[in-house]
Amino acid sequence: MRISVIGSGYVGLITGVCLAKLGNKVTLVDIDKEKVEAVNNRISPICEEGLREILREVSIEASTEYQRIMGSELIFICVGTPSNEDGAISLEYVAKAAEQIAETLKRKEGYCVICVKSTVTPGTTEELVIPVLEKSGRRVGIDFGVCMSPEFLREGKAIRDFMNPARVIIGEYDKSSGDKLLDVYRDFPAPFLRTNLRTAEIIKLASNAFLATKISFMNEIGNICKQLGIDTYEVAKGMGFDDRIGSKFLNAGIGFGGSCLPKDLKMLIGRAREIGYEPAVLEEVLKLNEAQALKLVEALKKHVPLKNSVIGLLGLAFKPGTDDVRSSSAIKIVEALLQEGALVKAYDPLAVKNFSKLFPRIEYVTKEEVLNSDAILIVTEWEEFNNLDYRGKIVIDGRRVLKAKEARIYEGVCW
């Protein structure tokens, strides 16, 4: 099938290359010339397992020109939906993409389907995207179809997740729209749910809000267990045998970060408040997460005075396997350390470049040099941190790196 993907950020790029790998003829459209050139030169603009190889293998073209979508039967909108601190999201890029598609629709022959993949608040596809598309003079359900099909890609495992999804959600304006999308996804070994547009939109937000809730819940249990002298990880193991609970996402620590969980949670809270509902559980999940990272600094203060001490950080990325530092717990931790007058040294195998844009003045060193600090904080659970020699050191662990227990002084954030 001839497919266009608007936006070559995380979701767009992965969607584009994976659909090309499945034999479709894919065109990526992005306003960012650098990204377009990178894709056309087969250079991966993001750090993602397997992406470099797949980019070299597939036939895919990228362009800044919207008219390249003209021959497509299916057009995915995968542009960003940035949010501000209070959770309000900007739908500006989604609206712009829809406007540009509408321009093309005016001159386009034949039926095509526009599918929103960007994470948006419930109602966006019906209330914003469809009216903008109809400005073309073409009518939804007759001249073109509309779907909303969210992605659940995890950074670092995005290609694997795309090819082996846990589920495929097809939000459809009408049956013809959904049938077109199904043509592409048909062979995926996953359960399918065909539903309406706004249900698909909220499934994405509710899924990420639930994952965030699981983490904050375990962090709270951890905070209680620590005071009672109980090992939270053993508690999680005992709980996880119950398949109604499940054993995944029960790792207590310094909280969740990344580009999705915090943002999607805030988006859902924002939308609930807009309609006059106070989402008490969701608000508390977020509040707990804000406080959790700072517990690592509180624990540290019991062992070392922060003023003028050298504090070493192991890990800066929001999780292992990525160079992404968006909403990483490391940000809150470094801010607190600097505020208290500590001297910060940090190591991360991938994320130094991105972190140094936020904190150009802290020292970026090798992991061995981090070990020579007055105290060490473990912020990201990179596998390589299990091979360090912590003997004689003071270690405060935010992510449960078992080897660090050999330290002279070892304290877990919530175990």
Which residues does the annotation mark as catalytic? 260
Rounded least distance, CB 253 to ligand UDX, Å: 5
**Helix, strand or coil, per DSSP, at residue 196:** coil
Q: Which residues contact 126 (CB under 8 A, 6 or more apart)?
A: 197, 198
Q: Say whether residue 76 binds ligand UDX (CB under 6 A).
A: no
Number of neighbouring beta carbons within 10 Å of residue 290: 12
Q: Say whether residue 152 binds ligand UDX (CB under 6 A).
A: yes
Q: Are 119 and 264 in contact (CB under 8 A)?
A: yes
Q: Say whether residue 401 binds ligand UDX (CB under 6 A).
A: no
Which residues between 233 and 252 bind ligand UDX (CB under 6 A)? 249-251
**Helix, strand or coil, per DSSP, at residue 203:** helix
| Nearer Cβ to ligand UDX (142/245) | 245
Nearest to 14 by CA among 152, 119, 116, 147: 152
Amino acid at position 311, single letter: I
Helix 280-301 to helix 329-339 angle (10° resolution) is: 50
| Nearer Cβ to ligand UDX (151/374) | 151
Q: Which two tokens stand for residue 113?
A: 């389907």
Number of residues that bind ligand UDX (CB under 6 A): 19
Rounded least distance, CB 264 to ligand UDX, Å: 7
Rounded least distance, CB 119 to ligand UDX, Å: 8
Q: Say whether residue 12 binds ligand UDX (CB under 6 A).
A: no
Q: Say whether residue 195 binds ligand UDX (CB under 6 A).
A: no
Helix 280-301 to helix 261-274 angle (10° resolution) is: 140
Q: Are 354 and 291 in contact (CB under 8 A)?
A: no
Instruction: Please pick, from the candidates 30, 48, 155, 201, the single residue that binds ligand UDX as defined by CB under 6 A.
Output: 155
| Nearer Cβ to ligand UDX (309/329) | 329
Interface characters, 305-324, with ligand UDX (x: CB under 6 A) = -------------xx-----
Among the listed ranges 1-9, 24-32, 147-155, 337-345, the one in contact with ligand UDX (CB under 6 A) is 147-155
Q: How far apart are CA 149 and CA 201, in angstroms?
A: 8
Q: Which residue has the tokens 């809730």?
A: 213
Q: How far apart are CA 197 and CA 136, in angstroms?
A: 21
Q: Are 146 and 133 in contact (CB under 8 A)?
A: yes
Q: Say whether residue 400 binds ligand UDX (CB under 6 A).
A: no
**Helix, strand or coil, per DSSP, at residue 267:** helix
Among the listed ranges 19-27, 95-103, 255-263, 371-379, the one in contact with ligand UDX (CB under 6 A) is 255-263
Q: How far apart are CA 341 and CA 335, in angstroms?
A: 10
Q: Say whether residue 260 binds ligand UDX (CB under 6 A).
A: yes
Interface characters, 204-233, with ligand UDX (x: CB under 6 A) = ----x--x---x------------------
Instruction: Please pick, from the candidates 256, 347, 355, 382, the single residue that binds ligand UDX as defined by CB under 6 A.
Output: 256
Rounded least distance, CB 156 to ligand UDX, Å: 7
Q: Which helix (H) or strand (E) holds 3?
A: strand 2-6
Q: Say whether residue 257 binds ligand UDX (CB under 6 A).
A: yes
In the chain, count H helices and then E strands: 15, 14
Q: Say whether residue 261 binds ligand UDX (CB under 6 A).
A: yes
**Helix, strand or coil, per DSSP, at residue 283:** helix
Q: Which residues contact 326 (CB under 8 A, 6 or more apart)?
A: 257, 258, 259, 318
Rounded least distance, CB 259 to ligand UDX, Å: 6
Instruction: Please pick, from the candidates 145, 178, 258, 398, the single residue that binds ligand UDX as defined by CB under 6 A.
Output: 258
Rounded least distance, CB 30 to ligand UDX, Å: 20
- Give the footprint of ligand UDX on this chain (CB under 6 A): 151-155, 208, 211, 215, 249-251, 253, 256-258, 260-261, 318-319
